[in-house]
Amino acid sequence: MVFATGQLWFKVPETNRFNITGKLQENVTSKDVILNIIGQVGQDGSTYKSCEYAGETIKEMEMSDRMVLSNMAIEMGGKTGIVEADKITDEYLKNRTDKSYTKFTTDLDAPSLNTIDIDVSDLEPQVACPNYVDNVKAASEVEDVEIDQVFIGSCTNGRLKDLRQAAKVLKGKKIKNGVRTLVIPASRTIYQQALKEGLMDIFVEAGALVCNPCCGPCLGGHIGLIGDGEVSLSTSNRNFKGRQGSPEGKVYLSSPIVAAESAITGHITSPERK
């Protein structure tokens, strides 16, 4: 098409608008919200659709939390994941660009719009179990699963806020012997910020291995690949068979808080509600 006409044609996607309401409980994060959404609609629940996240819960989220939601839209088949621009968007862009921009809003009466209401008031930490991202259970239901490795990082949960959450859990604690724990910041900037805040010291003192900014074991091509029969608990976005190394290994997905708690105990652990 592009060689014949000089044009690229794209189908305009329909929209699944997730209207999220309710106040998140202590130790419940945007990662838990998106895992719960994917668990409800399935890995093909938004195939070739735009995933829009809206509602009072989303309006209260920081930009880094919203990015987690957008990052994982593809895990339910979405073409894109968006949050309507607001004052939080303005604040985020203030020191990142001097270009003018236009805010667009959703036509709530559009025939291509499908609204899905989800109340997260009673949501507890979630875990995606092998080998599909939509195989989601409450973390408290899989606490008998012993782990060999914890991976805190990736484009999904390697931002500064994620590292702060993990460091808060690990501060003054020791990772259980035999549990490899990798901490991989998502970018060089985040790596430098974490250094300045002393987060890296906390991770190293707890017994974690801090790596250079990269995808890490997420794509199965770097340090931290799991072997036959090993179990990884990861803050990344995919847990397909063989994703992090051996096809005989297993990958579970969680938030940084659940990952850090589990690194200490040696098995998947749901943090206590406070």
pLDDT tens digits, residue range 24-67? 999 999 999 999 999 999 999 999 999 999 999 999 999 999 99
C-beta neighbour count of 267 within 10 angstroms: 17
Q: Which domain holds residue 216?
A: 126-265
Rounded to an integer, what distance in angstroms lies between the CA atom of residue 200 and that of residue 217? 19
- Does residue 270 sit within a domain? no
- Does residue 14 sit within a domain? yes
Q: Last residue of some domain: 71, 104, 119? A: 119
The amino acid at residue 7 is Q
Backbone angles phi, psi at 103, to 5 degrees: -90, 135
User: 106: buried, middle or exposed (CB in 10 Å: 19+, 13-18, 0-12)?
Assistant: middle
Residue 231 pLDDT exceeds 50 = yes
Its pTM stands at 0.94
Give 165-191 pLDDT, tens digit per residue.
999 999 999 999 999 999 999 999 999
Q: Last residue of some domain: 119, 142, 177? A: 119
Q: Last residue of some domain: 119, 135, 160? A: 119
Give 131-156 pLDDT, tens digit per residue.
999 999 999 999 999 999 999 999 99
Say yes or no: 133 and 236 in one domain: yes
Query: For position 103, which CATH number holds?
Result: 3.30.499.10
Q: How many domains does the chain have?
A: 2
Bridge partners of residue 117, in order along the sequence: 19
Exposed e or buried b for every residue in 114-130, given b needs 16+ CB within 10 A?
eeeebebeebbbbbbbb
Q: What is the mean pLDDT of the chain?
A: 95
Mean pLDDT over 85-104 rounds to 93
Residue 272 pLDDT exceeds 80 = no
The amino acid at residue 61 is M
